[in-house]
Structure 1
């Protein structure tokens, strides 16, 4: 019998997902890790052990997701912690992005995550325990980033669905957490992880400035240490009562604080008029 939890991590060939898988294996956990390109994953984690199960998985294909979950349970002997980490960024003003560009981002960041939840939850529910971490972004709390509207929309969706999911599965002993990383020094802002608008519009200077800043100034200089972030995630996974909301990074806390201050200001500005909208009974 294993004494440590069995993990299932999506988007594991790079970034926070890869860092997490490496730390879990070092700590002696059993890990099923998925990627669109399993050979890339095997190169990134060349470890040969029966505790590591690299899997090719297409998030957009329900059969592929179901098979990955079933293979994890049959090969490693169970499933305890799910980390929905796979996703990518999409830059572009809302007017610039085509319907397909927007939908593609939602297909991976939201509907792919839902596919994993749909097939992992029956097992967690029936065994009466489990942890699910859905990786959002500080862009899932604050959308005040020109050119990141569709990406932020996907991450707001991740936050909302996780809140509801947490309420749904808590009676079964399953805990769900939405994770909001700030800027961490991974490949997230590199070309392979960020989509650019196919038909940019010259008028959106603020969007171009934001795009340039993320690609040239922020990329490679992010303040967050991925190792420390994933150490904390593992620590939270072992806590008796994990939070529904987990912010990662001082910058995430700062931006969330700014959002809450803005929300409070806007609420107070219109509170008297907005709360006087009920029916007046005769």
Structure 2
């Protein structure tokens, strides 16, 4: 008999977070669903009144995160799966972004995840178990014009998660870096902050728009079964690419990077070390 799990999911009101919440509830698990705006969760609260605890939370507020995690544990007694999913998109060229925009973006996409990890770890360590799913991006394998700060935040979270996994595995806590592909999450609409465009980048913007096209990507519900399996595996992988097309793209990026290293191997080896 499978034991029901308790989930803590950030960014749970829309997109991937909503899809993960729905899948966990459908499986009979209990969920603390955290978001800045929990109104979109009203229908799920009505359907699962005993299994869903909505939590108003801005992950960029460290004190609020610690308080929210304490309330989450009080609601269901424990935490088994923590999903660091909350995030947004800062769209624009590096030169265009203001200091306020950059800091606000990383406060959510990077530091928000750090605060959640710091808040949940004492509970997971005391239990001697728990799983942290760090939602990064297949884009964290390399930067892309106009979404450089989004990629930077995901790369930072990716690297930090590698270190975190080494630090906490001895306590029975497992960390999985989930490299998400492109899904129709509303990231480019409701979740986007745009810079003030400079005319110097008009041509590049047009090229990027043509390259990306109008496809919004598959529904987030397509990714939910993978997340459910990651939560259930006794020995999950340290990292996983989610999405068939994304898998191919990441392997191609890695192949091109390896070729570049080999092309310049002679120059690299001129230096000692």
When the two structures are superposed, what TM-score results if normalisation uses the length of structure 2? 0.93
Q: Is the 8 A contact 2:44 2:52 kept in 1?
A: no
| Aligned position for 1:205 | 202
| Aligned position for 2:41 | 41
| Aligned position for 2:239 | 245
Q: Is the 8 A contact 2:134 2:178 kept in 1?
A: yes
How many equivalent residue pairs? 272
Q: 1:118 to 1:239 in 2, by over 3 A?
A: same
Q: Is the 8 A contact 2:45 2:53 kept in 1?
A: no
* Per-residue CA distance 1:60-98 (angstroms, 9 max, x = gap): 212211121111111111111100000011111101111
Matches for 1:155-194 after TM superposition, within 5 Å: 155-190=154-189, 192-194=190-192
| Aligned position for 2:81 | 81
Matches for 1:94-243 after TM superposition, within 5 Å: 94-143=94-143, 145-190=144-189, 192-197=190-195, 199-209=196-206, 212=209, 217-219=214-216, 222=217, 224-243=218-237
Distance in 2 separating the partners of 1:225 and 1:243:
24
- Superposition misfits of 4+ residues, deviation over 3 angstroms: 43-46, 210-216
Q: Is the 8 A contact 2:14 2:40 kept in 1?
A: no
Q: 1:203 to 1:101 in 2, by over 3 A?
A: same
Q: Which moved more, 1:160-169 or 1:47-56?
A: 47-56
Distance in 2 separating the partners of 1:109 and 1:64:
16
| Aligned position for 1:259 | 253
Distance in 2 separating the partners of 1:43 and 1:210:
41
* Per-residue CA distance 1:13-70 (angstroms, 9 max, x = gap): 0001001101111110010000101223325654242211000012121221112111
Distance in 1 separating the partners of 2:114 and 2:207:
30
Deviation at 1:111, TM superposition (A): 0.4
Deviation at 1:6, TM superposition (A): 0.6
Distance in 2 separating the partners of 1:210 and 1:97:
20
SS of the residue 2:59 aligns to: coil
Q: Unpaired runs of 5+ in structure 1?
A: none
Distance in 2 separating the partners of 1:45 and 1:92:
37
Distance in 2 separating the partners of 1:171 and 1:159:
20
Across the aligned residues of Structure 1 and Structure 2, the Cα RMSD in angstroms comes to: 1.9
Q: Is the 8 A contact 1:146 1:210 kept in 2?
A: no
Distance in 2 separating the partners of 1:55 and 1:125:
23
Q: Tell me, yes or no, if structure 1 residue 58 matches structure 2 residue 55.
A: no
Deviation at 1:225, TM superposition (A): 3.9
SS of the residue 1:178 aligns to: strand
Distance in 2 separating the partners of 1:210 and 1:188:
20
Distance in 1 separating the partners of 2:259 and 2:209:
31
Distance in 2 separating the partners of 1:60 and 1:188:
18
